Protein backbone atom coordinates (compact mmCIF):
# COMPACT_ATOMS: atom_id res chain seq x y z
CA UNK A 1 0.00 0.00 0.00
CA UNK A 2 2.84 2.37 0.82
CA UNK A 3 4.36 1.54 -2.57
CA UNK A 4 1.18 2.58 -4.35
CA UNK A 5 0.70 5.82 -2.44
CA UNK A 6 4.32 6.83 -3.03
CA UNK A 7 3.72 6.43 -6.74
CA UNK A 8 0.51 8.41 -6.55
CA UNK A 9 2.31 11.28 -4.83
CA UNK A 10 4.56 11.22 -7.88
CA UNK A 11 1.60 12.22 -10.03
CA UNK A 12 1.48 15.60 -8.34
CA UNK A 13 5.24 16.07 -8.44
CA UNK A 14 5.20 15.44 -12.16
CA UNK A 15 2.10 17.63 -12.51
CA UNK A 16 4.06 20.52 -11.05
CA UNK A 17 6.94 19.90 -13.41
CA UNK A 18 4.62 19.76 -16.41
CA UNK A 19 2.33 22.63 -15.49
CA UNK A 20 1.41 24.44 -18.64
CA UNK A 21 1.98 21.35 -20.78
CA UNK A 22 -0.17 21.09 -23.85
CA UNK A 23 -2.50 18.30 -24.85
CA UNK A 24 -2.69 18.63 -28.59
CA UNK A 25 -2.51 16.64 -31.76
CA UNK A 26 -1.32 17.33 -35.26
CA UNK A 27 -2.65 15.73 -38.40
CA UNK A 28 -1.60 12.19 -37.50
CA UNK A 29 -3.92 9.65 -35.90
CA UNK A 30 -3.23 7.99 -32.55
CA UNK A 31 -2.17 4.36 -32.76
CA UNK A 32 -5.13 2.05 -33.31
CA UNK A 33 -7.73 4.68 -32.36
CA UNK A 34 -9.40 4.27 -35.75
CA UNK A 35 -10.20 0.67 -36.78
CA UNK A 36 -7.61 -0.61 -39.23
CA UNK A 37 -10.22 -1.03 -41.99
CA UNK A 38 -10.91 2.72 -41.95
CA UNK A 39 -7.62 4.25 -40.86
CA UNK A 40 -6.30 4.90 -44.37
CA UNK A 41 -9.57 6.51 -45.44
CA UNK A 42 -9.74 8.76 -42.38
CA UNK A 43 -6.08 9.77 -42.67
CA UNK A 44 -6.41 10.59 -46.38
CA UNK A 45 -9.78 12.32 -46.42
CA UNK A 46 -9.23 14.05 -43.07
CA UNK A 47 -6.65 16.14 -44.91
CA UNK A 48 -9.06 17.22 -47.64
CA UNK A 49 -9.11 20.85 -46.48
CA UNK A 50 -7.21 22.91 -43.89
CA UNK A 51 -10.23 23.25 -41.60
CA UNK A 52 -10.55 19.47 -41.22
CA UNK A 53 -8.10 17.06 -39.60
CA UNK A 54 -8.10 13.25 -39.52
CA UNK A 55 -8.80 13.41 -35.78
CA UNK A 56 -11.83 15.69 -36.23
CA UNK A 57 -13.20 13.43 -38.95
CA UNK A 58 -12.62 10.37 -36.77
CA UNK A 59 -14.37 12.03 -33.83
CA UNK A 60 -17.40 12.80 -35.96
CA UNK A 61 -17.63 9.25 -37.32
CA UNK A 62 -17.24 7.72 -33.87
CA UNK A 63 -19.82 10.12 -32.42
CA UNK A 64 -22.27 9.43 -35.23
CA UNK A 65 -22.04 5.65 -35.56
CA UNK A 66 -19.35 4.10 -33.36
CA UNK A 67 -17.79 2.87 -36.65
CA UNK A 68 -20.89 0.80 -37.47
CA UNK A 69 -21.47 0.93 -41.26
CA UNK A 70 -24.96 -0.62 -41.08
CA UNK A 71 -26.55 1.54 -38.36
CA UNK A 72 -29.80 3.44 -38.95
CA UNK A 73 -30.96 6.15 -36.54
CA UNK A 74 -34.60 6.83 -35.56
CA UNK A 75 -34.39 9.86 -37.90
CA UNK A 76 -33.33 7.54 -40.78
CA UNK A 77 -29.71 8.70 -40.74
CA UNK A 78 -27.81 5.94 -42.46
CA UNK A 79 -24.43 4.26 -42.39
CA UNK A 80 -21.09 4.98 -40.79
CA UNK A 81 -21.38 8.74 -41.41
CA UNK A 82 -25.11 8.94 -40.59
CA UNK A 83 -26.29 10.82 -43.67
CA UNK A 84 -30.01 11.44 -43.95
CA UNK A 85 -31.20 10.54 -47.46
CA UNK A 86 -31.83 14.13 -48.58
CA UNK A 87 -28.32 15.23 -47.56
CA UNK A 88 -26.75 12.16 -49.15
CA UNK A 89 -28.57 12.92 -52.42
CA UNK A 90 -26.70 16.24 -52.61
CA UNK A 91 -23.35 15.52 -50.97
CA UNK A 92 -22.77 11.80 -51.41
CA UNK A 93 -19.85 11.00 -53.74
CA UNK A 94 -18.62 7.90 -55.56
CA UNK A 95 -15.18 7.99 -53.98
CA UNK A 96 -14.14 4.44 -54.86
CA UNK A 97 -15.09 4.81 -58.52
CA UNK A 98 -17.35 1.76 -58.74
CA UNK A 99 -20.08 3.69 -60.52
CA UNK A 100 -22.46 4.21 -57.59
CA UNK A 101 -22.77 6.40 -54.52
CA UNK A 102 -23.41 3.95 -51.69
CA UNK A 103 -24.22 5.39 -48.26
CA UNK A 104 -23.66 1.94 -46.75
CA UNK A 105 -20.13 1.61 -48.13
CA UNK A 106 -17.53 3.33 -45.90
CA UNK A 107 -15.35 3.76 -49.00
CA UNK A 108 -17.96 6.24 -50.23
CA UNK A 109 -19.46 7.43 -46.94
CA UNK A 110 -16.25 8.48 -45.17
CA UNK A 111 -14.96 10.54 -48.12
CA UNK A 112 -18.46 12.03 -48.48
CA UNK A 113 -18.44 13.10 -44.82
CA UNK A 114 -15.08 14.82 -45.35
CA UNK A 115 -16.29 16.44 -48.56
CA UNK A 116 -19.42 17.69 -46.81
CA UNK A 117 -17.37 19.14 -43.95
CA UNK A 118 -15.10 20.97 -46.38
CA UNK A 119 -18.05 22.33 -48.34
CA UNK A 120 -19.47 23.72 -45.09
CA UNK A 121 -16.07 25.24 -44.33
CA UNK A 122 -16.23 27.06 -47.67
CA UNK A 123 -19.77 28.22 -46.94
CA UNK A 124 -18.70 29.88 -43.66
CA UNK A 125 -15.17 30.93 -44.65
CA UNK A 126 -15.87 34.65 -44.14
CA UNK A 127 -17.34 34.23 -40.65
CA UNK A 128 -15.23 35.54 -37.73
CA UNK A 129 -13.84 33.07 -35.21
CA UNK A 130 -12.16 29.69 -35.35
CA UNK A 131 -12.67 28.24 -38.82
CA UNK A 132 -12.91 24.62 -37.65
CA UNK A 133 -15.38 25.51 -34.90
CA UNK A 134 -17.53 27.32 -37.46
CA UNK A 135 -17.38 24.31 -39.77
CA UNK A 136 -18.52 21.98 -37.00
CA UNK A 137 -21.26 24.40 -35.99
CA UNK A 138 -22.46 24.50 -39.60
CA UNK A 139 -22.53 20.71 -39.65
CA UNK A 140 -24.84 20.75 -36.64
CA UNK A 141 -26.97 23.86 -37.18
CA UNK A 142 -26.52 24.74 -40.85
CA UNK A 143 -24.28 27.30 -42.52
CA UNK A 144 -26.99 29.97 -42.58
CA UNK A 145 -27.23 30.07 -38.78
CA UNK A 146 -23.46 30.34 -38.42
CA UNK A 147 -23.31 33.17 -40.94
CA UNK A 148 -26.25 34.96 -39.32
CA UNK A 149 -24.73 34.61 -35.82
CA UNK A 150 -21.26 35.68 -36.95
CA UNK A 151 -19.78 32.48 -35.47
CA UNK A 152 -20.97 29.53 -33.42
CA UNK A 153 -24.63 30.38 -32.73
CA UNK A 154 -26.05 30.61 -29.22
CA UNK A 155 -27.76 27.25 -29.51
CA UNK A 156 -26.86 24.94 -26.64
CA UNK A 157 -27.01 21.81 -28.80
CA UNK A 158 -24.64 23.36 -31.35
CA UNK A 159 -22.23 24.71 -28.75
CA UNK A 160 -22.19 21.33 -27.03
CA UNK A 161 -21.59 19.58 -30.35
CA UNK A 162 -18.57 21.74 -31.17
CA UNK A 163 -17.07 21.24 -27.71
CA UNK A 164 -17.79 17.52 -27.79
CA UNK A 165 -16.16 16.90 -31.16
CA UNK A 166 -13.17 19.08 -30.28
CA UNK A 167 -12.67 17.20 -27.00
CA UNK A 168 -13.25 13.78 -28.53
CA UNK A 169 -10.79 14.52 -31.32
CA UNK A 170 -8.02 14.57 -28.70
CA UNK A 171 -8.53 10.83 -28.33
CA UNK A 172 -7.98 10.27 -32.05
CA UNK A 173 -5.01 12.61 -32.55
CA UNK A 174 -1.44 11.51 -32.00
CA UNK A 175 -0.14 13.90 -29.29
CA UNK A 176 2.57 16.29 -30.45
CA UNK A 177 3.71 17.27 -26.95
CA UNK A 178 3.58 15.97 -23.40
CA UNK A 179 0.12 15.39 -21.96
CA UNK A 180 -1.03 17.07 -18.78
CA UNK A 181 -1.50 14.73 -15.79
CA UNK A 182 -4.98 13.79 -14.64
CA UNK A 183 -5.62 15.46 -11.30
CA UNK A 184 -8.25 12.85 -10.34
CA UNK A 185 -5.71 10.02 -10.67
CA UNK A 186 -5.00 9.64 -6.95
CA UNK A 187 -8.68 9.23 -6.07
CA UNK A 188 -9.21 6.64 -8.80
CA UNK A 189 -6.21 4.63 -7.64
CA UNK A 190 -7.32 4.89 -4.01
CA UNK A 191 -10.68 3.38 -4.94
CA UNK A 192 -9.12 0.54 -6.95
CA UNK A 193 -6.63 -0.12 -4.15
CA UNK A 194 -9.51 -0.46 -1.67
CA UNK A 195 -10.87 -3.33 -3.78
CA UNK A 196 -7.69 -5.41 -3.80
CA UNK A 197 -8.50 -9.04 -3.06
CA UNK A 198 -12.13 -8.78 -4.24
CA UNK A 199 -13.14 -11.77 -6.42
CA UNK A 200 -13.70 -11.11 -10.12
CA UNK A 201 -17.24 -11.23 -11.56
CA UNK A 202 -17.91 -11.05 -15.28
CA UNK A 203 -20.29 -8.13 -15.81
CA UNK A 204 -19.65 -6.95 -12.26
CA UNK A 205 -20.19 -3.28 -11.45
CA UNK A 206 -19.75 -3.51 -7.69
CA UNK A 207 -23.43 -3.51 -6.75
CA UNK A 208 -24.73 -4.97 -3.51
CA UNK A 209 -26.53 -7.65 -5.49
CA UNK A 210 -23.20 -8.61 -7.07
CA UNK A 211 -21.43 -8.79 -3.73
CA UNK A 212 -19.37 -5.69 -4.53
CA UNK A 213 -17.51 -7.56 -7.27
CA UNK A 214 -16.23 -6.20 -10.59
CA UNK A 215 -14.96 -7.16 -13.98
CA UNK A 216 -12.08 -5.19 -15.54
CA UNK A 217 -14.01 -2.30 -17.06
CA UNK A 218 -16.53 -2.27 -14.21
CA UNK A 219 -13.63 -1.57 -11.83
CA UNK A 220 -12.15 1.24 -13.92
CA UNK A 221 -15.59 2.77 -14.45
CA UNK A 222 -16.32 2.72 -10.72
CA UNK A 223 -12.87 4.11 -9.85
CA UNK A 224 -13.33 7.18 -12.02
CA UNK A 225 -17.00 7.54 -11.07
CA UNK A 226 -15.74 7.92 -7.48
CA UNK A 227 -13.87 11.08 -8.56
CA UNK A 228 -16.74 12.48 -10.61
CA UNK A 229 -15.86 11.22 -14.10
CA UNK A 230 -18.36 8.99 -15.86
CA UNK A 231 -16.81 6.46 -18.24
CA UNK A 232 -18.56 4.13 -20.67
CA UNK A 233 -19.16 0.58 -19.48
CA UNK A 234 -16.90 -1.34 -21.86
CA UNK A 235 -13.13 -1.14 -22.22
CA UNK A 236 -12.92 -0.37 -25.94
CA UNK A 237 -15.04 2.76 -25.44
CA UNK A 238 -13.13 3.78 -22.31
CA UNK A 239 -10.07 3.99 -24.58
CA UNK A 240 -11.58 7.13 -26.15
CA UNK A 241 -11.90 9.06 -22.86
CA UNK A 242 -8.79 11.18 -23.40
CA UNK A 243 -5.42 11.44 -25.14
CA UNK A 244 -2.95 8.57 -25.34
CA UNK A 245 0.44 8.81 -23.62
CA UNK A 246 3.25 6.63 -24.91
CA UNK A 247 4.62 3.80 -22.79
CA UNK A 248 7.47 5.96 -21.50
CA UNK A 249 5.08 8.78 -20.53
CA UNK A 250 2.71 6.71 -18.37
CA UNK A 251 1.64 8.17 -15.04
CA UNK A 252 -0.31 6.58 -12.18
CA UNK A 253 -4.02 6.75 -12.90
CA UNK A 254 -3.71 6.19 -16.65
CA UNK A 255 -5.90 3.43 -18.00
CA UNK A 256 -3.89 0.71 -19.75
CA UNK A 257 -5.44 -1.49 -22.41
CA UNK A 258 -4.87 -4.89 -23.97
CA UNK A 259 -6.18 -6.01 -27.36
CA UNK A 260 -6.45 -9.09 -29.51
CA UNK A 261 -5.59 -6.85 -32.50
CA UNK A 262 -2.80 -4.36 -31.87
CA UNK A 263 -3.99 -2.20 -34.78
CA UNK A 264 -7.59 -1.79 -33.62
CA UNK A 265 -8.95 -0.28 -30.40
CA UNK A 266 -12.31 -1.93 -31.06
CA UNK A 267 -10.62 -5.28 -30.33
CA UNK A 268 -9.59 -4.25 -26.78
CA UNK A 269 -10.49 -6.98 -24.31
CA UNK A 270 -8.98 -5.83 -21.00
CA UNK A 271 -8.23 -2.66 -19.02
CA UNK A 272 -6.47 -1.81 -15.77
CA UNK A 273 -5.37 1.27 -13.81
CA UNK A 274 -1.67 2.00 -13.99
CA UNK A 275 0.01 2.55 -10.60
CA UNK A 276 3.62 2.99 -11.71
CA UNK A 277 6.70 0.79 -11.83
CA UNK A 278 5.27 -1.24 -14.71
CA UNK A 279 2.25 -2.43 -12.70
CA UNK A 280 -1.51 -1.93 -12.78
CA UNK A 281 -4.44 -2.76 -10.53
CA UNK A 282 -6.92 -4.87 -12.48
CA UNK A 283 -9.70 -7.41 -12.25
CA UNK A 284 -8.15 -10.05 -14.49
CA UNK A 285 -10.50 -13.00 -15.01
CA UNK A 286 -12.96 -15.46 -13.51
CA UNK A 287 -11.37 -17.29 -10.60
CA UNK A 288 -8.94 -14.46 -9.83
CA UNK A 289 -9.14 -11.46 -7.52
CA UNK A 290 -8.46 -7.76 -8.04
CA UNK A 291 -4.69 -7.51 -7.78
CA UNK A 292 -1.46 -5.98 -9.06
CA UNK A 293 -0.36 -7.24 -12.47
CA UNK A 294 2.48 -6.26 -14.81
CA UNK A 295 1.49 -4.32 -17.92
CA UNK A 296 4.36 -5.46 -20.14
CA UNK A 297 2.46 -8.25 -21.85
CA UNK A 298 2.35 -9.25 -25.54
CA UNK A 299 -1.19 -7.89 -25.98
CA UNK A 300 -0.45 -4.47 -24.42
CA UNK A 301 -2.20 -1.99 -26.71
CA UNK A 302 -1.74 1.45 -25.20
CA UNK A 303 -3.01 3.88 -22.59
CA UNK A 304 -5.47 6.69 -22.04
CA UNK A 305 -5.09 9.67 -19.73
CA UNK A 306 -8.71 10.14 -18.72
CA UNK A 307 -10.00 13.72 -18.82
CA UNK A 308 -13.34 15.03 -17.65
CA UNK A 309 -14.01 16.71 -21.02
CA UNK A 310 -12.93 13.60 -22.90
CA UNK A 311 -15.30 11.41 -20.92
CA UNK A 312 -18.18 13.86 -21.31
CA UNK A 313 -17.64 13.92 -25.07
CA UNK A 314 -18.18 10.19 -25.50
CA UNK A 315 -21.49 9.19 -27.07
CA UNK A 316 -23.87 7.41 -24.71
CA UNK A 317 -24.34 4.55 -27.16
CA UNK A 318 -21.84 3.52 -29.81
CB-count burial class (<10 Å; 0-12, 13-18, 19+) for 279 = buried
Q: What is the pLDDT of residues 14-43, one digit of tens each?
A: 433 333 333 334 578 998 899 999 999 999
Q: What is the pLDDT of residue 317?
A: 63
Domain boundaries, the chain: 36-172, 183-313
**Nearest-10 Cα torsion for 304, 255, 59, 268:** 120
Q: What is the pLDDT of residue 178?
A: 84
**pLDDT score of 12 more than 60:** no
Q: How confident is the model at residue 11 (pLDDT cuts 50, 70, 90)?
A: very low
C-beta separation of 276 from 212 below 8 A: no
CATH pick for 36-172 out of 1.10.530.10, 2.40.110.10, 2.60.120.10, 1.10.260.40: 1.10.530.10
Q: Give me the chain's average pLDDT, please.
A: 91
Work out whether strand 291-294 and strand 173-175 pair parallel, antiparallel, or are unpaired.
unpaired
Q: Half-sphere exposure of residue 235, counting CA atoms within 13 Å on the CB side?
A: 27
Q: What is the pLDDT of residue 177?
A: 81
Q: Which fold has domain 183-313?
A: endopeptidase fold (from Nostoc punctiforme) (3.90.1720)
Q: What is the pLDDT of residue 16?
A: 36
Taking the C-alpha atoms of residue 266 and residue 260, their distance in angstroms, rounded to an integer, is 9
Q: What is the pLDDT of residues 121-159, one digit of tens each?
A: 999 999 999 999 999 999 999 999 999 999 999 999 999
Q: How confident is the model at residue 318 (pLDDT cuts 50, 70, 90)?
A: low
> Among 2-11, 201-210, 294-303, which stretch is predicted with the lowest mean pLDDT?
2-11
Q: What is the pLDDT of residue 299?
A: 97
> Among 82-91, 106-115, 169-178, 241-250, which stretch is predicted with the lowest mean pLDDT?
169-178
Amino acid sequence: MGFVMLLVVGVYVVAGNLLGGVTSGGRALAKGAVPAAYQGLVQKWGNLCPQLTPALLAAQLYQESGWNPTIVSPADAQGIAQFIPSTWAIYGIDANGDGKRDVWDPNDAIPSAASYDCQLAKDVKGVPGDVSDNMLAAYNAGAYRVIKAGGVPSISETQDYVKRIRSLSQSFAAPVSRIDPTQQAAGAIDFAQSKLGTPYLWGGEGSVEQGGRFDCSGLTQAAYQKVGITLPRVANDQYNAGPHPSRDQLLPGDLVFFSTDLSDSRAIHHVGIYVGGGYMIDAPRTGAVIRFDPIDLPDYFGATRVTADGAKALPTAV
